[in-house]
């Protein structure tokens, strides 16, 4: 059943959680067990959980002995191929104590735009969830031919939530909530609840590139949240450090109320 409010996350039956590169790669890799423990707790109560995780390129960079994120497509693809392997390994190692098996699902834009491949992706995801596997989804960066990404994995998270008819989407960030202006602005105030269909044109969400390894930002999260909410999926945007509280239905972050639709 669709999560109509934050508190409903504690009982939501199907949840998609998206985490970005900056939260789980490099010096932040310690956060992977923290995130996995929270996902495992939701899984243990019977929820079906899907993790959309960025981080393949960022994880691969040190193994290729690169000093920074590569700018050419071929090296990005190489870093993604190496990094995806290590990223999934780290997640599975963190899941092992919980006796949960992960499944890797790599998607491209075409996979979700083409009717046949979209149907195949949906069937595969549904079967994984029925088998109590925890799918870990990422852009298939290694075979990307135009851009290396959907635009950002926040959008991918929203599209995956739509694909499987999720009850809720949780977009993890590096700040506790969204603000009316960039958080560094002294006039910025946190946003608590965004009603469905709200006009947000007067708010300043800043640039989409926020650091050297990630490609998301407040603006991309707002766009993705509104996409999912318009489909009848409740969306919470909050800090990766607060994932346990988020999945427990705590009163944190910015909540995007789902549109009232008969099905999603």
173 is in an annotated binding site: yes
Interval 151-163 mean pLDDT:
90
140 is in an annotated binding site: no
Interval 121-132 mean pLDDT:
98
Residue 263 lies in a domain: no
- The pLDDT, as a whole number, for residue 147 is 53
- The pLDDT, as a whole number, for residue 211 is 40
Residue 151 has pLDDT above 80, yes or no: no
Residue 44 has pLDDT above 90, yes or no: yes
For 190, the domain range is: 6-256
Interval 162-168 mean pLDDT:
97
Residue 59 lies in a domain: yes
Over pLDDT 70: what percentage of the chain?
91
- The pLDDT, as a whole number, for residue 150 is 61
Domain count for the chain, please give it. 1
What is the domain-level CATH number for residue 102?
A: 3.40.1160.10
Residue 188 lies in a domain: yes
The per-residue pLDDT for range 174-191, each reduced to its tens digit, is: 889 999 888 888 888 999
**48 HSE (CA, 13 A, CB side):** 17
201 is in an annotated binding site: no
In DSSP terms, 18 is beta-bridged to 52, 171
- The pLDDT, as a whole number, for residue 210 is 37
d(C-alpha 218, C-alpha 58), whole Å: 20
* SS3 letters across 93-155: HHHHHHCCCEEEEEECHHHHHCHHHHHHHHHHHHHHHHCCCEEEEEECHHHCCCCCCCCCHHH
Residue 1 lies in a domain: no
174 is in an annotated binding site: yes
Residue 140 lies in a domain: yes
Instruction: Give the residue, 143 or 214, on which the prediction is more confident.
Output: 143
d(C-alpha 144, C-alpha 200), whole Å: 32
The pTM (predicted TM-score) of the whole model is 0.92
Report the length, in residues, of the chain.
264
Residue 137 has pLDDT above 70, yes or no: yes
What mean pLDDT value characterizes the chain?
Answer: 90
The per-residue pLDDT for range 7-34, each reduced to its tens digit, is: 999 999 999 999 999 999 989 999 999 9
153 is in an annotated binding site: yes
Residue in 82, 69, 84 with CA at minimum distance from that of residue 136? 84
Residue 206 has pLDDT above 60, yes or no: no
The per-residue pLDDT for range 46-71, each reduced to its tens digit, is: 999 999 999 999 999 999 999 998 98
Residue 87 has pLDDT above 60, yes or no: yes
- The pLDDT, as a whole number, for residue 218 is 83
Contact yes or no for 216/153 (Cβ under 8 A): yes
Q: How confident is the model at residue 227 (pLDDT cuts 50, 70, 90)?
A: very high
Instruction: Give the residue, 149 or 137, on which the prediction is more confident.
Output: 137
- The pLDDT, as a whole number, for residue 51 is 98
Residue 258 has pLDDT above 50, yes or no: yes
- The pLDDT, as a whole number, for residue 185 is 85
d(C-alpha 86, C-alpha 119), whole Å: 29
Residue 109 has pLDDT above 60, yes or no: yes
Residue 231 has pLDDT above 80, yes or no: yes
């Amino acid at each position: 059943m669709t999560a109509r409010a934050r508190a409903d996350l504690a009982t939501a039956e199907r949840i998609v959680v998206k985490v970005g590169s900056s939260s789980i790669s490099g010096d932040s890799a310690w956060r992977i067990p923290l995130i996995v423990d929270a996902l495992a707790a939701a899984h243990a109560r019977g929820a079906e959980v899907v993790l959309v995780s960025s981080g393949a390129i960022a994880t691969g960079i040190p193994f290729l002995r690169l000093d920074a994120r590569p700018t050419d497509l071929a090296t990005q693809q190489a870093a993604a191929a190496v990094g995806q392997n290590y990223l999934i390994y780290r997640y599975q190692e963190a899941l092992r104590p919980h006796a949960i098996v992960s499944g890797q699902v790599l998607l491209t834009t075409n996979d979700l735009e083409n009717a046949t491949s979209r149907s195949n992706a949906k069937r595969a995801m549904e079967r994984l969830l029925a088998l109590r596997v925890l799918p870990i989804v990422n852009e298939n960066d290694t075979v990307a031919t135009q851009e290396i990404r959907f635009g950002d994995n926040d959008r991918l998270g929203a599209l995956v939530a739509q694909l499987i008819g999720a009850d809720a989407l949780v977009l993890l960030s590096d700040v506790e909530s969204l603000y009316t202006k960039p958080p560094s602005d002294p006039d910025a105030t946190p946003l608590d609840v965004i009603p469905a269909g709200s006009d947000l044109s007067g708010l300043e969400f800043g640039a989409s590139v926020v650091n050297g390894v990630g490609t998301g930002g407040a603006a991309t999260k707002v766009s993705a949240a509104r996409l999912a909410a318009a489909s009848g999926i409740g969306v919470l945007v909050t800090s990766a450090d607060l994932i346990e509280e988020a999945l427990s239905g705590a009163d944190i972050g910015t909540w995007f109320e789902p549109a009232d639709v008969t099905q999603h």
